[in-house]
A and B are shown apart, each in its own frame.
Chain A
Amino acid sequence: MHLMKTVLLLTLAAVRCQATALYSNTTTDQLDSAFYSTLGVTEIGDQIQLFSAGMLTSLDAQFFNVGADATFDAVLRFYNVGGPVGTQIGGPFTAANIFIASGTSATATFSNLGNLLVPQDVVATFSVQNVSAGGDLGLNFFDPPTLGNSSASFFIVYDGTAFSQASTNLDHDNLYMEISGAPVSAAPEPSPAPILAGVLIVMACWKTGLRIRQRR
């Protein structure tokens, strides 16, 4: 009986355990970048639709530096989708001490997501801290995503008091991101036929047992 329960639970969980790409927008560089300093914001992000809800293991984001050579810490946050941003999901997560040369891009890898469970539609934002003197950082726009979806007409910013949608009016407002994890599908509803069969088998066993006991 205990074994049957375990098998049933495993079936209902429907979690595929191997890590795979859940969102990918790293192919087509639009060669535009949005900067914290010029927009006057502390977080820049995007609302995205993953290939599937999932338990996340890692995320890559791409920064650009228009200032002097610098080091910085990148901070990643996930939020539920709201108006435009809802409650935070876990985190924040930090990728520390990233070096970025003047006039170049650098990819920050957050490999410490610890199987964070996120829904299929989610907001991911990035902030920077401990930026060394002269660094002036922004995020790169890529479009379209090759896995998952995201609207090209807006991205998300946080000015320290409120989140809002921003647009470049260029119709490619999607940030470079690669997200990996284990997909999680919704638990399937048990179909009535096996349940009925199970009930019949249990009843048959019970009846057979009763007859044997009665013969004794």
Chain B
Amino acid sequence: MKTFKIFGIAAVVIGILTALTLESCSTEQITAYKNRSGAQLWGENCVRCHNAPSPASYNDTDWRTIGLHMRIRANLTDDQAKKIFDFIRSAN
């Protein structure tokens, strides 16, 4: 019974996720996603947990370490992590 309950909840959640994902597949949405700059991604993704750090807080070498750490901790995609790092390196 409990297994059915968990699978039932999982099915509902997956259904919602699928519906939202399909909604996001429009050409405009995909273009908006692909065109996101490193600065935008930096501002949007850091604040999911904490304030966006100033690029000047660390040097490039430190950012490489922090960038790898945060890519894994925050589950960023490879593309997002690269764009964010390129922006930080250009802005610090």
The reply to whether chain A is a binding partner of chain B is no
Residue numbers of B with Cβ under 8 A of A are none
Residue numbers of A with Cβ under 8 A of B are none
